[in-house]
Amino acid sequence: MTGRVTLVGGGPGAIDLLTLRAVRALASADVILHDRLAPTEQLSQWAPQAQFFDVGKRPGHHRVTQESIHQMMLSAAREGNHVVRLKGGDPFVLGRGCEEVAACREAGIPVTVVPGITSAISVPAAAGVPVTARGVSKAFTVISGHDPLSEDELRGLVSLGGTVVILMGVGTMGHTIESLQRLGLPTQTPVCLVEKGYSPQQRILIAPAQRILEVAAQAKVRSPAVMVIGDVVHLAADADDVGRSVLDTSTMPALQRAEEIQLIRSMVGALA
């Protein structure tokens, strides 16, 4: 008897941000193939009868190739198992979920998708940063920074305006920020970096575009981190509001630092 596959979005990593449908899928799983950033702390409780396989990719190191993941998923389903492919964030936002669904359909394996909370929106929210805000930004662009952005992509981001959210962009951050400024991004545009969002190690760093690389270097920012560029960053909550965070403006002159923090608080108050 042929089994089935459920592609599950695990959200940004906090276990209580899994959807009810995701939890139900895990409870009935026989085999779980999970990614590095998927919530796995309580998998043995959610899926007590399941076998677990870590197939996560790390920057610069793919321990299990995508083709091998497809084969593992399809082989387990052909044996009659309910296979849950547990991914971080949402399966269809800058992931390879569509390829995995296509592999199942081509093999004749029933497949369903359980959407997850994408880190493109939820991780900025961990810093109190909305990706859109009335009177500030009415559009946002989500783009992968895994590979260096092209001149056309960078020019498009500058000309489109609004909010820019960059995922998987720590390794190419220098190229991105310097190129955006060269192509016309104002140097005082606020930038927010949220490292390890929704984890106990979460850090939030905020600085103008012209200083964010220095701030990030001093803080030794590491992946995973989400970068938000745009005026919505001025709406960030302060550290007391978001918890386990750092409002890092340490490279600003004292007067500018005070003005920046005051601006953030006044704008938050105005929108309350």
Told to judge if 35 belongs to the known catalytic residues of this protein, a careful annotator would answer: yes
Name the catalytic one among 30, 35, 90, 248.
Answer: 35
**Two structure tokens written together for 51:** 């076998």
| CB contact set of 75 (below 8 Å; sequence gap of 6+) | none
Edge to edge, the sheet with strand 4-9 lists 51-54, 31-34, 82-87, 4-9, 111-114
Name the catalytic one among 57, 72, 231, 267.
Answer: 57
CA-to-CA distance for 74 and 71, rounded, in angstroms?
5
The single-letter DSSP state of residue 223 is S
Instruction: Give 207's strand partners.
Output: 191
DSSP codes, 121-157: HHHHHHTT--S-BTTTBS-EEEEE-SSPPPHHHHHHH
Question: 29 and 38 in contact (C-beta within 8 Å)?
Answer: no
Question: 52 and 102 in contact (C-beta within 8 Å)?
Answer: no
Name the catalytic one among 73, 90, 168, 252.
Answer: 168
CA-to-CA distance for 14 and 16, rounded, in angstroms?
6
Told to judge if 267 belongs to the known catalytic residues of this protein, a careful annotator would answer: no
Told to judge if 168 belongs to the known catalytic residues of this protein, a careful annotator would answer: yes
Helix segments in the chain, DSSP class H: 20-27, 43-46, 66-78, 97-107, 119-126, 151-160, 173-182, 209-219, 239-242, 254-271
Catalytic site positions: 35, 57, 168
